[in-house]
Amino acid sequence: MIEERKPGRGCVRVRGLSVSAGDETIVAGIDLDVMAGRVLTLVGPSGAGKSTIAAAVAGVLPQHLRPGGSIAVDPGIRVAHLPQDAALTLNPARRIGASLGELVTIHGAPPRRWRRRRQWRSDNVDALLTRVGLPAETQNRRLWTRRFPSQFSGGQRTRLALAHVLATRPDVLVLDEPSNGLDAISRQRLIEALADLRDHGTALLLVTHDERIAAELGDDVISISDGRIRPHFAPGTGVRMPAPNRVCNGNTEPENRAPTLAVDHLRVRIAGDDVLAGPSFSAASGELIGLVGASGSGKTTILRSIAGLVPIAGGTVEFDGVPLRRLARRSSSTMGDIQYVCQEVRASFEPDRPILHQVARTAIRLRGTAPQIAHAEAADILHDLGLSPDEIRRPPDGLSGGQLRRAALARALVARPRLLLCDEVTTGVEAGLADSLLRLLADRCRDAGMTLLVAGHDLRSLLARVDRLIVVDGGRVTDDLPAGEWSHASPTLRRLLAADGVPPVGTVADSD
């Protein structure tokens, strides 16, 4: 399907692209050009076919999908692909420095002398990490290169995956939701890095739900809906940033109740480093709490500690006044009461079983629900989350990243948890759908008394729904404030609010 053509203005020319799975047409009639020194951005709702188009251009379509049409590539052009689940492309058994060093050596021009080659390799690895904004402190970079992928946060792994792709020196770079799991400050660094690539002649095909990235980077923007291309529109005309939400949720303050969850001076060490340095907070029944902070601040580790997935070096985590054990030692009742939706959801599903069966199995195993009733309940929840009867009968590979994230949320909700832990649950979905998901979860908190702790970087969406905001920085809690009450905000929170375009501290955005 991918063929070479004579040199021309564009690096990649797509004509009449179609992709089908059996009798189902996923995308059809796609024409586009990915040009050197320009960014072509694909936008549209979750499940529209954007990722399928990107995979076809990169030549990495799954085997069960059948392409049609033509994709013509200039001779000698190197095409690289950063998938939506980018962190899964990292080798879990290799240190970051070793894997990056190997790539820069293969794709670069290292000196012949061993000592000079070693320094050249180290300098190039440092340059790649700097380019993707890792880490902020230069003196820690050498320590970072000795870590394994599992020792980084989800957002950091995404940027590390981008560094690995950049090490191959691609002429065309296809990126699928590269801002997933990034805070506003890191997202701006990503925009600057991609703009630098464009300015140096790299052709970029970008899939995103992030309207800011589309507006700032997209030289050409194409809207995809139901697998078909919609009219082109210029950045700033077809993509509109929503008006700022009023910085409060409108809910009454929670009554004074005994905490369902109590975290006290929690400490977690990974590879000898203090990842969590004593954060303490509590959560009452029915509370919706936002957990925010820069990528790598410790948000995911807090959630994983509560879920029993990482060992605790000190402090306590209590649920209903009882210390929580590691996951393997928890009862079925406790596992049902506390559910965790992880950031990299695709790896949490079995690849060959339909989504409906996997969601229903949670109710069968944790609640003892009869299979027929469990399947009906699972179908109802999946429908509430915007998945069609056809989509829920597909295996995970048949769903987009945003659709699969909603399926993971349904799998947790069908357990009827009293405490739900969500890591980047609105990542990879458009703004309207993100707000709908948070509204549904807020309704569950109010109606069923469920406690929700949601870690995320989308401050605008979170602030419209949460009761409280907890800010994490360097493994510590710097703020624990009712939503909208920023008069005592720390410098960390002020930076996050400013970077995400939230009105200045002490003011409330107009609601109209």
> Is residue 511 left, alpha or beta, with left meaning phi > 0 and alpha meaning psi from -120 to 50?
alpha
Helix extents (H) in 39-113: 50-58, 96-107
- Mean pLDDT lowest for which of 220-234, 261-275, 485-499? 220-234
Q: Which residues pair with 34 in a beta bridge?
A: 12
Q: How far apart are the first and last CA of the chain?
A: 51
Give the pLDDT confidence score for residue 508 in this predicted structure.
Answer: 40
pTM: 0.75
Residue 238 has pLDDT above 60, yes or no: no
What is the spatial distance between Cα 135 and Cα 147, in angstroms, rounded to a whole number? Answer: 12
Token pair 């929690």 is found at 266
Q: In order of start, what are the domains of the chain with their CATH numbers? A: 2-229 (3.40.50.300), 259-346+417-499 (3.40.50.300)
Indicate if the pLDDT at residue 236 is higher than 80: no
| Tens of pLDDT, residues 1-35 | 444 434 444 589 999 999 998 888 999 999 999 99
Q: Which of 189-193's residues contact partners 24+ apart within 8 Å by CB, and which partners?
A: 189/132, 189/133, 190/132, 190/133, 190/159, 190/162, 191/216, 191/217, 193/131, 193/132, 193/133, 193/162
Write out pLDDT tens, residues 350-385. Answer: 988 999 999 999 999 999 999 999 999 999 999 999
Structure tokens at 301: 């580790």
Whether residue 362 contacts residue 381, with contact meaning beta carbons closer than 8 Å, is answered with no
